[in-house]
Amino acid sequence: MPRPRQQLVGTTVGYWTIIAQDTDKQASTGIKRVLVAKCRCGTIRSVLEQNIISGQSKSCGCLQKQRAKEHQELVWKQRKQKG
């Protein structure tokens, strides 16, 4: 018997806010549940439910860009201090 699915619509996971359930996607391993999610930056995308629940998808990509920018700024400050 399959496990009951979590109701994620209206919840926030990572940078994603789940807006609605999209049409399910047929895959070779079975049917995958697809959700419509809005990122904190405003991007709206269809995302696999399992990727959101597992933490594999935290944002649309803006989180990675933000972290890269912060890292680059840190490296620049360290180089400037060394002189």
Tell me what pLDDT residue 82 has.
80
- Given the structure tokens 């933000």, which residue do they identify? 66
Is residue 52 in a domain? yes
Q: Which domain holds residue 77?
A: 12-82
Is residue 6 in a domain? no
Is residue 2 in a domain? no
pTM: 0.72
Is residue 72 in a domain? yes
Tell me the H-state helices in 1-83.
49-54, 62-82
Q: What is the tally of structural domains in the chain?
A: 1
Is residue 22 in a domain? yes
pLDDT greater than 90 at residue 29: no
How far apart CA 15 and CA 3 sit, in angstroms, is 26
**Each residue's pLDDT tens digit, 32-64:** 889 999 999 999 999 999 999 999 999 999 988
